Amino acid sequence: MIAGISIYEILTVTSILFFVGVYGFITRKNLISILISVELILNASAINFVVINKYLYPDMLEGVLFSIFIIAVAAAETALAVSIIINLYRQISSVEVKDVETMKY
């Protein structure tokens, strides 16, 4: 429980964060920006875990633990994605998503 702040306000903030991430994922042209957007989505959900844990089950720690897991996984995933992007750059000298569309019909 955080004094003066209701759960709805925090969930509104995380929802905005989530949809900003989705919007960024769809509209950004640069692969790095897309990666950042993905991080926003992940962080929004991590905050949700913590907040809902805090407000609904204050005595337990599962939600907090999960958010730590998410951070670890996100770190690994980012490392992987960045390495892919670097390799891609070596191949086609570009990190624009429009240049990576050979896998189509």
Partner 1 sequence: MNFSNIILIPLIPLAVFLLLGIFNQKIKPSVSGYIGVFGLLASTILSFHTAYNYFFVNASESGAYQTFVEKTVWMNFTDTLRIDMGVLIDPISVMMLIVVSIVSLMVHIYSRGYMKGDDGYTKFFAFLSLFSFSMYGLVLATNLFQIYIFWELVGVSSYLLIGYYYTKESAVAAAKKAFIVTRFADLGFLIGILIVGYYTGTYDFETLNNPEGSAILNWASTSFMGLSVLTWALILIFIGGAGKSAMFPLHIWLPDAMEGPTPVSALIHAATMVVAGVYLVARLFPMYYFVEDGFALNIVAFVGAFSSLFAAIIAITQTDIKRVLAFSTMSQLGYMMLALGVSGYDGHEGLGYMASMFHLFTHAMFKALLFLGAGSVIHAVHSNYLKDMGGLRKYMPITNITFLIAALAIAGVPPFAGFFSKDEILVAAFEHNKLIYFIGVFVAGLTAFYMFRIYFGIFWGKDTKYEHKPQESPISMTFPLMVLALLSIVGGFIPFSKYVTVDKAGFEAHLNYPLAAVAVGVGLLGIVLAWVFYKKENDLSDKFANFFGPFYKWTSDKFYFDEIYLFVTKKILFKRVAAPIAKFDKKYVDGTMVGIGNTTVLASEKIKGMQSGKVQDYAFAFIAGVVILAIIFIYLWTN
Question: 62 to 81, contacts with partner 1 by CB under 8 A?
Answer: none
How far apart CA 11 and CA 65 sit, in angstroms, is 19
- Tokens 């003066």 belong to 4
Question: 34 to 63, contacts with partner 1 by CB under 8 A?
Answer: 34
Determine, following the binding rule CB under 8 A, whether residue 17 of this chain makes contact with partner 1: no
How far apart CA 26 and CA 98 sit, in angstroms, is 12
Determine, following the binding rule CB under 8 A, whether residue 8 of this chain makes contact with partner 1: no
- Spatial CB neighbours of 35, under 8 Å, sequence gap ≥ 6: 78, 81, 82, 85
Query: Residue 55, class by beta-carbon neighbours within 10 Å (0-12 exposed, 13-18 middle, 19+ buried)?
Result: middle
With CB under 8 A as the rule, give the number of residues binding partner 1.
13
- The window from 6-14, 44-52, 71-79, 93-101 that contacts partner 1 (CB under 8 A) reads 93-101
Determine, following the binding rule CB under 8 A, whether residue 33 of this chain makes contact with partner 1: no
Determine, following the binding rule CB under 8 A, whether residue 11 of this chain makes contact with partner 1: no
Determine, following the binding rule CB under 8 A, whether residue 98 of this chain makes contact with partner 1: yes
Name the site residues for partner 1 (rule: CB under 8 A).
Answer: 22, 25-27, 34, 97-98, 100-105
